[in-house]
Structure 1
């Protein structure tokens, strides 16, 4: 009966795999990161840029869904409630994907997530302000158009 408790020896290929899968414990710069899925974006600069764009669009979408008016006045309350619940579920799922992306601790991912939220908030606010400025006596009031933050 073999009672050897020493760790198994590692080959050079095991070392390289372990080094690539090391989890960062602090913020870092670099394109070699894993975001959301194993092996994505990999070590390719192009895939890293695509991942940055993806996270930016996710953050932009969260802001859009946060302030969008999906239910029109006069809608059936049950249908309106279900629609709002579905949009809320989608927004929450996207927000969690952004949070998991930022947990990669990559500074580039963090910056594009913040930039996406900022640009999305700006676009939604501009749209709300332009709608409020166009409304006349019969149109929506300013307080109905501008989302409260």
Structure 2
């Protein structure tokens, strides 16, 4: 009996075949974490917190109102002078730094909400900034008009 190297691994009835293909990846399930890269309309949104507003009309309306008022607060804080110009005391500088951090944090929250690509959220943020500017930045609420400031 003659030894054939192939016969050590295969018997007479076996054939060499390619391994089975890997299973196909399932299609991605539609869920709120995957947002389109253009504005869409409706309550099917998720922003700022996971699972919120989660397709509930009341929660969506609350979210829109919250974004609107946070944008107004951002404009209020942007036009608020708490420390006199020229004050270089250490406590005043640290207070200004903390105040600036709060103001920047609120701005970023509005930006993150707008990045949900929901048209209603975008409109609420833009209108909130506009209303806040009219009330606090345009001089209507003060006797003396203040020069226009960049955000």
The TM-score normalised by the length of structure 2 is: 0.75
Aligned to 1:97: 109
Q: Count residues with an aligned counterpart.
A: 128
Gaps of 5+ in 1: 133-141
The question of 1:6 aligning with 2:17 is answered: no
Could you give the per-residue CA deviations for residues 85-126 of structure 1, whole angstroms, max 9, x where no partner exists?
A: 111111111111111111111110000000110111111132
Gaps of 5+ in 2: 1-18
Aligned to 1:83: 95
Residues 67, 121 of structure 2: 8 Å contact kept: yes
Partner Cα separation in structure 1 for residue 59 and residue 43 of structure 2: 9
Partner Cα separation in structure 2 for residue 8 and residue 110 of structure 1: 35
The question of 1:63 aligning with 2:55 is answered: no
The question of 1:113 aligning with 2:130 is answered: no
The structure that is helix-richer by fraction is 1
Instruction: State the superposition RMSD in angstroms.
Output: 2.3
Shift in alpha-carbon separation, 1:9–1:107, aligned structure 2, 3 A: closer
| Structure number, greater radius of gyration | 2
The TM-score normalised by the length of structure 1 is: 0.75
Partner Cα separation in structure 2 for residue 38 and residue 3 of structure 1: 39
Residues 60, 117 of structure 1: 8 Å contact kept: yes
Q: Secondary structure at the match of 1:126?
A: coil
Q: Secondary structure at the match of 1:121?
A: helix
Residues 64, 124 of structure 2: 8 Å contact kept: yes
Tell me the CA shift for residue 75 of structure 1.
5.8
Shift in alpha-carbon separation, 1:73–1:20, aligned structure 2, 3 A: closer
Tell me the CA shift for residue 20 of structure 1.
2.4
